[in-house]
Chain A
Amino acid sequence: MDPAALRLSLWLATLTTALLVLLGVPLAHWLATSRFRLRFVVEAVVALPLVLPPTVLGFYLLVALAPRTPAGRAWEALAGRPFPFSFQGLLVASVLYSLPFAVQPIAAAFAAVDPRLVEASHTLGISRIATFFRVSIPLAWHGIVSGAVLAFAHTLGEFGVVLMVGGNVPGETRTLSIAIFDHVEALEYAAANRTAAFLLAVSFAVLVVVYAVQRRPLAWNAR
């Protein structure tokens, strides 16, 4: 197995997951509790990566952030290098691509929090933001864990987006799934098998964790 590719994949998945939890928890809470009339449009946008071919997502990201566009220039000013074939670019693409995997379980968990508990907290004088941290988050904890684990696993295995946005730069954008592709192209089936088996085992373990967390939620969620 290519150690640089493994390190890169784990690092990418970790950062993507961290960003998705930071962005996804407030977004999911908003989706679960908002009475905004056009909420369904936002829901559709969040769910888009589920049905969109990764190549389409990658293609439009490349077009939008191409070095000569205003967005591309802004990106370069911020990141210090062009968007395509960079790790930072890959990170942004991964966050977008795994968004529904993180947001949907978290939103479902927030929606399952009894609104009377939130109201009780408000009538006890606790602010909205404090109620969010003291009631909603603890009660939606299993959803946040599920969302994070799914986002991590999904990022670990992504291929199309990586190839479109990142290409195949060793140590920069060459992730495990790209490495497998390379091995197969070079007819190195034994090496491909080692990496593929590793990804298979990780994916299976992740799903076992997710279903275990959802099946046996922490005691207080059993109502």
Chain B
Amino acid sequence: MERALTFDLERRYRGGPVVRARASLPLDEGRVTVLFGPSGAGKTTVLRALAGLDRPDAGTIAYAGEPWLDVARGVCLSPQRRRAGFLSQEPALFPHLDVAGNVGYGLSGAPRGGRAARVRELAARLRIDPLLARRPSELSGGERQRVALARALAPRPRLLLLDEPLSALDAPTRDALRGELRALLEAAEVPSIVVTHDRAEALALGDRMLVLVAGTIRQAGPVHEVFSAPADVDVARTVGTENVLPARIVAREAGLAVVEASGLRLTGMDPGGAVAEAYACVRAEEIVLEEAPGHPSSARNLVAGVVAAVADEGTLVRVALDCGGARLVALVTRRSAGVLGLAPGRRVAAAVKAPAVRIVPRVPAAPDAASGGAGAGDRGPPPAPEF
């Protein structure tokens, strides 16, 4: 049987919301699952329940068959016995210990020599060696979060839980640490779950993704699939970006970057950095549909396509376009759809302004985690029962 973390939790808040989350995640080392959802959806509740810091009102958690929680049978393993590393939003470093003391804190059972070696090893990996003698109050936000990660990794946890690990940082630090965090999590060879409400973070960090809306997991799957094919309107609204294409930056010029995405050439804002692998993201409502191309336009991107499907969503109509190898989703008003006569088979042009094409760089993953639809199939069944 595949090693998996399965949970089925219910947490009722008095006079407040109910969180009911159910999912099953394969436990592959170095793979990152993003738990995505708006504020108040219950992400932190789920994460704290997995860590053993909160006790749900009902449900079960099993790690590779080992019961961590079974409320009905009165089983609730302490956080100590779960051995799940936990990284909170604000890095809660021990203020009375220096950085070395913080990193080595969880190694108290190990022999002294082994402890020092492990601290040095992690310090090197997280590039915090020059900070080892400093106090947490003397560190910057980014440095603190690195130290907190080193501390969580030191006792070799079986699972790593990260609660919005970058949200307390200022924007430049966050952008710098995002790509690095992905590489670190992969190198750590621990399955991780990252809670976030930030799309760029989900794309940059995650291999697969659980979308939590109003206390329930509504969709699970590879990150870009969830983004490009939301299961329902709530998920679409939550993830916000319907078009997420695996892309490669092929040219950069004057603040713009040209990417090749599934046969399309798109121009977007240059995200900076040296990474060529990226996702090109376009929100469906940013796509303008026009008669077949030919007339001049200020839009930098003009793509010819054929309408594949039309779905009525009230005021708006969701239009799926086949554009060579890629599929784009556009949201237009019902009126425009009528004027253009949008129906399957109709040839149109999709126009997108360069600022609407968001390019999110992505640290290349190990081969079997490669982006693209094929990656999903060979990792066994879909991760969540609700999928």
Binding site for B on A (CB under 8 A): 114, 116-117, 119-127, 130, 134-135, 138-139, 218-223
Say yes or no: B152 contacts A116, CB within 8 Å: no
The 8 closest A-B pairs by CB, nearest first: A124-B106, A220-B95, A116-B92, A123-B86, A122-B79, A220-B96, A138-B96, A123-B79
Q: How far is the CB of A141 from chain B (nearest CB, A)?
A: 9
Q: How far is the CB of B362 from chain A (nearest CB, A)?
A: 29
**What is the bound-complex CA distance between A130 and B152, given in angstroms?**
18
Q: Is B108 an interface residue (CB 8 A)?
A: yes
Interface residues of B in 291-318 (CB under 8 A from A): none
Say yes or no: A119 contacts B80, CB within 8 Å: no
Could you give 28 example pairs across A and B, Cβ below 8 Å? A114-B92, A116-B88, A117-B92, A119-B79, A119-B86, A119-B88, A119-B92, A120-B86, A120-B88, A120-B94, A121-B105, A122-B52, A122-B53, A122-B79, A123-B84, A123-B86, A123-B152, A124-B151, A125-B109, A126-B80, A126-B105, A126-B106, A130-B108, A135-B94, A139-B95, A218-B96, A220-B135, A222-B137
Say yes or no: B80 contacts A120, CB within 8 Å: no
**What is the bound-complex CA distance between A222 and B151, given in angstroms?**
22
Q: Is B336 an interface residue (CB 8 A)?
A: no
Residues in A with CB closer than 8 Å to B30 are none
**What is the bound-complex CA distance between A134 and B107, given in angstroms?**
13
Residues in B with CB closer than 8 Å to A119 are 53, 79, 86, 88, 92
CB nearest to B105 among chain A residues? A124
Interface residues of B in 95-149 (CB under 8 A from A): 95-96, 105-106, 108-109, 135-137
Residues in B with CB closer than 8 Å to A220 are 95-96, 135-137
Q: How far is the CB of A184 from chain B (nearest CB, A)?
A: 49
CB nearest to A130 among chain B residues? B108
Q: Is B51 an interface residue (CB 8 A)?
A: yes
Q: Is B199 an interface residue (CB 8 A)?
A: no
Residues in A with CB closer than 8 Å to B80 are 122-123, 125-127
Interface residues of B in 55-98 (CB under 8 A from A): 78-80, 83-86, 88, 90, 92, 94-96
**What is the bound-complex CA distance between A122 and B137, given in angstroms?**
22
Binding site for A on B (CB under 8 A): 51-53, 78-80, 83-86, 88, 90, 92, 94-96, 105-106, 108-109, 135-137, 151-152, 154-155
Say yes or no: A126 contacts B137, CB within 8 Å: no
Say yes or no: B108 contacts A126, CB within 8 Å: yes
**What is the bound-complex CA distance between A220 and B94, given in angstroms?**
9
Q: How far is the CB of A181 from chain B (nearest CB, A)?
A: 45
CB nearest to A221 among chain B residues? B95
**What is the bound-complex CA distance between A135 and B92, given in angstroms?**
12
- Choose one: B51, B52, B84, B137; the contact of A219 (CB below 8 Å): B137
Residues in A with CB closer than 8 Å to B92 are 114, 116-117, 119-120
CB nearest to A220 among chain B residues? B95
- Choose one: B78, B95, B152; the contact of A124 (CB below 8 Å): B152
CB nearest to B101 among chain A residues? A134
**What is the bound-complex CA distance between A127 and B155, given in angstroms?**
14
Additional A-B contacts beyond A124-B155, A218-B96 (8; CB < 8 A): A116-B88, A116-B90, A119-B79, A120-B88, A120-B94, A123-B79, A126-B108, A138-B96
**What is the bound-complex CA distance between A44 and B80, given in angstroms?**
34
Say yes or no: B95 contacts A223, CB within 8 Å: yes
**What is the bound-complex CA distance between A220 and B136, given in angstroms?**
9
Q: How far is the CB of B193 from chain A (nearest CB, A)?
A: 13
CB nearest to A137 among chain B residues? B96
Residues in B with CB closer than 8 Å to A121 are 94, 105
**What is the bound-complex CA distance between A123 and B106, given in angstroms?**
9
**What is the bound-complex CA distance between A223 and B80, given in angstroms?**
27
CB nearest to B109 among chain A residues? A125
Residues in B with CB closer than 8 Å to A123 are 51-53, 79-80, 84-86, 152
Residues in A with CB closer than 8 Å to B51 are 123
Residues in A with CB closer than 8 Å to B109 are 125
Say yes or no: B86 contacts A139, CB within 8 Å: no
Q: How far is the CB of B254 from chain A (nearest CB, A)?
A: 45
**What is the bound-complex CA distance between A117 and B95, given in angstroms?**
9
Residues in A with CB closer than 8 Å to B52 are 122-123
Residues in B with CB closer than 8 Å to A117 are 92, 94-95
Most chain A CB within 10 A, of B51, B106, B136, is at: B106
Decide: A122 near B90, CB < 8 A? Known: A130-B108, A139-B95, A219-B135.
no
Q: How far is the CB of A166 from chain B (nearest CB, A)?
A: 42
Q: How far is the CB of B171 from chain A (nearest CB, A)?
A: 24
Q: How far is the CB of A136 from chain B (nearest CB, A)?
A: 11
**What is the bound-complex CA distance between A222 and B109, given in angstroms?**
30
**What is the bound-complex CA distance between A116 and B137, given in angstroms?**
16
Say yes or no: A139 contacts B96, CB within 8 Å: yes
**What is the bound-complex CA distance between A220 and B105, given in angstroms?**
17
**What is the bound-complex CA distance between A132 and B43, given in angstroms?**
29
Residues in A with CB closer than 8 Å to B105 are 121, 124, 126, 134
Residues in A with CB closer than 8 Å to B155 are 124-125
CB nearest to B106 among chain A residues? A124
CB nearest to B85 among chain A residues? A123
Residues in B with CB closer than 8 Å to A126 are 80, 105-106, 108
Residues in A with CB closer than 8 Å to B78 are 122
**What is the bound-complex CA distance between A66 and B133, given in angstroms?**
60
